[in-house]
Amino acid sequence: MDLNFDSTYQAAVKVAGPVATHFQQHMATALENGEEKLAAVPTPKIIERIIDIAFWASLRREEGNATRISLAFLQPEHSGKPLRFAHRLPLTPTILTKLAPGVEKPGVHIGIWYEGAELYIWGTTNKLPSGCFVLDVAEPGLLVVKQRRLLGLGKFTNIAMLKGDQVKIVDEGCSMKKDVPEILSSLLGHKTSPIWNNTTNVLIQIAVSMRSHGKGGILLVTPACNNGWKDSIIQPLQYPISPAFGGLADLIKQDPGNASEIFWKNAVRREVENISGLTAVDGATIINDRQELLAFGAKITRSYNSTVVEQVIMLEPIQGGKPQVLHSSAIGGTRHLSAAQFVHDQRNCLALVASQDGYFTIFSWSPTVQMVQAHRIDILLM
């Protein structure tokens, strides 16, 4: 397909080539591995055109409401049982803005395909083939390029983020670096499990939910077999849970048996939202690595036998991003500083920090460099 047009959104021109290369490489690898029912790979011009139109649509409003939509590039025959329009609709900012109120629910995608040199809208779908190109319009001027995971897992792999004239492309190679937390490797597609109730996948769901509630919060993940973390928490706990609440942990351990996977996913989602909701309470929410809830509203303090954390390595998994060694006072607000101190003291723990402005950071200990490392992963959770 050869589209002849001049893009008026220059960030679309900048990102189209690298994004197309990503999809081409992933699909080639999938074919070599014998994967079937793969999505079509869009050309750079198709990607550029879809992003260009979606960007201008994102700046429009319908009855005062911002445009929030998800676009997927695929044929209707590859989407299970789609909702097909009787007549094709042209892919324009005006049409997308008009459709947005009816298709803004999570999991609903506007289907895009082409004929000749024209892109068109054929309907909507909630089922996508593996590797499908998806573009989410998250808020005015903010677009996220995603790919349906080859394993079909619910959380899509984020490829790039465009915000106004700012472009960030995810660097998958970050998953190969030393001491990378497993949650980051999974988000980058390196250690993804196809099991929906895998503990890392569940932790990702909690992170997404924490970020989406927009109130900020801290989640501490501790070893189930070690209570050393209590040395870094002011006692007595304000809201201790006794015995540890295992609503989420019990679901993860259960065999779905004859019940539908959708039923179990919805049950896990409810428990995930219960935990993420508690992170909005002032203080830290604490779970162990079995996802048992131990406490919330906990106040972090420096352990009696530790030192003050002075430096932190800050990393963001994007192309061109370089690790920065920062003074602890420069990594963020009080939440970030207390989380860094906690991991500095409790080196077998994780701290997940959501900011009210949408930033999300994972704090972990790096044995290699003997420092706390802070991975900014909000680009992967959008």
CATH of the domain at 377: 3.40.1700.10
What confidence tens digit (pLDDT) does each residue in 298-341 have? Answer: 999 999 989 999 999 999 999 998 999 999 889 989 999 999 99
User: Three-state SS for 101?
Assistant: helix
What confidence tens digit (pLDDT) does each residue in 52-88 have? Answer: 999 999 999 888 888 999 999 999 999 888 999 999 9
**Within this chain, do residues 100 and 223 fall inside the same structural domain, yes or no?**
no
**Within this chain, do residues 64 and 126 fall inside the same structural domain, yes or no?**
yes
Report yes or no: 158 and 382 within 8 Å, Cβ to Cβ: yes
**Within this chain, do residues 110 and 255 fall inside the same structural domain, yes or no?**
no
Using the 3D structure, point to which of 117, 148, 169 is the last residue of a domain: 169
User: What is residue 60's predicted lDDT score, i.e. its pLDDT?
Assistant: 92
Using the 3D structure, point to which of 124, 148, 169 is the last residue of a domain: 169
User: What letter would DSSP give residue 350?
Assistant: E
Note down the domain range covering 24: 10-169
How far apart (Å, rounded) are the C-alpha atoms in residues 264 and 371? Answer: 39
Task: Assess if residue 45 is contained within a domain.
Answer: yes
What confidence tens digit (pLDDT) does each residue in 130-153 have? Answer: 899 999 999 999 999 999 876 544
Taking Cα atoms as reference points, which of 257, 165, 183, 218 lies closest to residue 351? 218
Does position 226 have pLDDT exceeding 60, yes or no? yes
User: Three-state SS for 210?
Assistant: helix
Is residue 259 classed exposed, middle or buried when 0-12, 13-18 and 19+ CB atoms within 10 A define those classes?
A: exposed
Task: Assess if residue 14 is contained within a domain.
Answer: yes
**Within this chain, do residues 151 and 262 fall inside the same structural domain, yes or no?**
no
Task: Assess if residue 4 is contained within a domain.
Answer: no
**Within this chain, do residues 50 and 101 fall inside the same structural domain, yes or no?**
yes
Task: Assess if residue 153 is contained within a domain.
Answer: yes
**Within this chain, do residues 14 and 79 fall inside the same structural domain, yes or no?**
yes
State the DSSP string of 164-193: TTEEEEB-GGGGGSTT--HHHHHHTTSS--
Structural domains of the chain, count: 2
C-alpha separations of 36 from 40, 130, 147 in Å: 12, 8, 16
Task: Assess if residue 180 is contained within a domain.
Answer: no
Confidence class of residue 201 from pLDDT cuts 50, 70 and 90? confident
Is residue 184 classed exposed, middle or buried when 0-12, 13-18 and 19+ CB atoms within 10 A define those classes?
A: buried
**Within this chain, do residues 147 and 18 fall inside the same structural domain, yes or no?**
yes
Task: Assess if residue 175 is contained within a domain.
Answer: no
Report yes or no: 110 and 69 within 8 Å, Cβ to Cβ: yes
User: What is residue 158's predicted lDDT score, i.e. its pLDDT?
Assistant: 92
Q: Tokens standing for 340? A: 């860094």
**Within this chain, do residues 53 and 98 fall inside the same structural domain, yes or no?**
yes
